[in-house]
Amino acid sequence: MTLRTPLLFMALLLSLPAAAQTSRPAIRDTVVPQTFLYATRGTDSLLLDVYRPHQPRQDSACILYMFGGGFVSGARNNEGTRAVCQHYVAEGYTVVAIDYRLHLKRVDYDTVRLFNMQSIFRRAISIAASDCAAAIAYLWPRADALGIARNRIALVGSSAGAISVLQLDYCRANRDQQGSLFAAAAELPEGFKPAAVVAFSGAIYADHGRPRYATAPAPTFLLHGVKDRIVHYKKFPPLLREGLYGPKKIQRTFNKENRPYWFFRYPEVGHEVSAMPIVLLPECCAFIDAALAGRVSRYEAECHDDQIQPTKWSRMNVFDLYSGK
């Protein structure tokens, strides 16, 4: 193994494998989204799709959804993302699916060494989180016209998208702290706080040990497979203070700081949970409803779901993933 391989591992680390999807309901293309250009970053034109429900909720709640794909693949309008959006818009939410820059797709792996791997990966997460902030800034002055209540925007993400929405709220809650890590929240509108954050197999990147919040985070729902070694359940890398802190570590912070959260852990599976925003739609909607009503407490459950079955992705580690086993 050469020194340039670790970042390729990281690029694969957060991918959302098609094989992990134990069920894929048919796409219900009943709502045609409106597409808007929300930001231009160099040569990148970032678009978002707004799905407006035929029967909207009375509270005009909105879900902003970020797809997964390891910061190397995925799209706001591919089949999987569209399926998620159509199912959630059928519940009455206005749903917004966004593009974001896939930084690891552009990395020249010949330049990667052990000493710079962490900084490259950290940048990929910060870029995605800052693009999410820019999308919210675009929606903010247009919320009334789009039928969105500004104080009822929930952030939902899968895998890399789950990391991005958790990271953005972490940065927002610490935006007055020193350090470049928190700059991703710079474009957020004044007064914005997510009504809820839902992370299907997510984590937070922190550089000085377990994540801590200077101000209150949004009510947060963590759904994660205990056997996940793609987005690790505890921490990756395990021996360094800087790195990705998984839901077990995030839960410890929320308990210590008395923050509201739900944590559903699935002991039989790994990264398969990241492919389940549709299967777990009732749980997600129940949490968002509780958050909107101000009724979220601290709740942890060990979950067993027959629709989420272990596949080869539960057995794989990063090295297996790289070798294609």
How many domains are there within the chain? 1
Q: What percent of the chain has pLDDT over 90?
A: 71
- Mean pLDDT (the chain) is 87
CA distance 223 to 200: 5
How would DSSP label each residue in 127-160?
HHHHHHHHHHHHHGGGHHHHT--TT-EEEEEETH
Is the separation of the CB atoms in 62 and 94 below 8 Å? Answer: yes
Average pLDDT over residues 286-307: 95
What is the predicted pLDDT for the residue at 12?
A: 44
Confidence check: pLDDT of 8 > 70: no
CA distance 211 to 205: 8
pLDDT of 43 reads 92
Q: How far is CA 132 from CA 235, 249, 273, in A?
A: 24, 24, 22
Name the more confident of 322 and 207. 207
Residue with tokens 């962490």: 118
Q: Maximum Cα–Cα distance for the chain, whole Å?
A: 57
The whole domain housing 67 covers 5-323
CATH number of 193's domain: 3.40.50.1820
Minimal CA–CA distance to 257: which of 210, 300, 190? Answer: 210
pLDDT band at 212 (very low <50, low <70, confident <90, very high): very high
Burial per residue of 87-107, b for 16 or more beta-carbon CB atoms within 10 angstroms, e otherwise:
bbbbbbbbbbbbbbbbbbeeb
